[in-house]
Amino acid sequence: MGRPAVFLDRDGTVVREVDYLRSARDLRLLPGAAEAVRRLNRAGYVVVIATNQSGVARGLLTEDELEGIHRTLIERLGRRGARIDAIYCCPHHPQAAVARYRRRCRCRKPRPGMLARAARDLDLDLARSVAVGDSARDIEAGRRSGCRTVLVRTGYGAKAEADLRPPPDHIAANLLEAASWIVRRAKRTE
């Protein structure tokens, strides 16, 4: 049996939503994000970021620039005692400006490809895992993967909440509240 994971969307969940984060200089952790990741780490979860990054497909940044942003994110969280075990991203978009990224892929949320790939790569048990995000796409990817789901009201979450049918397993004000719910729920089911 694989390990449980928490799949986190990046923008609007862990970092401030800025409509296409293009530079590590603009990366801002949301309040409580590092503490939330630390709690998940201590509870034994593999913490994975799974993020659509169509800015690459739109020509707004390169894959190298995106990797730099992710290195900065991992470093900033690490300085606060929080560990991200892996980052999976989808740079594709069906109407991409950059031809090599123009396609309908299996990894772009709401499809479950990133979560499925992470499960294979990292020996994860999706049925014991949770997907957390601020959009219907994040929740649907988690649901399609067989994960529990949590919508956070940060980023686009407050707007997405009214339209989610069926609703996620939990709705939290932010990632810290989501992490607390995940850890409490796991203790009740042990």
Cβ within 8 Å of residue 158, ≥6 positions away: none
**All structural domains of the chain:** 5-189 (3.40.50.1000)
Whether residue 116 contacts residue 145, with contact meaning beta carbons closer than 8 Å, is answered with: yes
Rounded-to-integer distance, Cα 42 and Cα 55, Å? 33
Torsion of CA 111, 50, 124, 137, to 10 degrees: -40
Rounded-to-integer distance, Cα 44 and Cα 33, Å? 17
Tokens of 178: 């989501």
Residue 1's pLDDT is 74
Residue 190's pLDDT is 59
Rounded-to-integer distance, Cα 62 and Cα 66, Å? 6
Question: Looking at the annotation, which residues are catalytic?
Answer: 9, 11
Closest CA to 52 of 2, 5, 10: 10
- For the chain (190 residues), the mean pLDDT of every run of 10, in chain order, is 95 96 96 98 98 95 96 98 98 92 94 98 98 98 98 96 92 98 82
**Strand order in 86-90's β-sheet?**
86-90, 46-52, 5-8, 130-133, 148-152, 170-172
Residue 163's pLDDT is 85
Q: Is 149 helix (H, G, I), strand (E, B) or coil?
A: strand
Residue at 85: amino acid letter:
D
Tokens of 155: 């980023």
Whether residue 140 contacts residue 166, with contact meaning beta carbons closer than 8 Å, is answered with: no
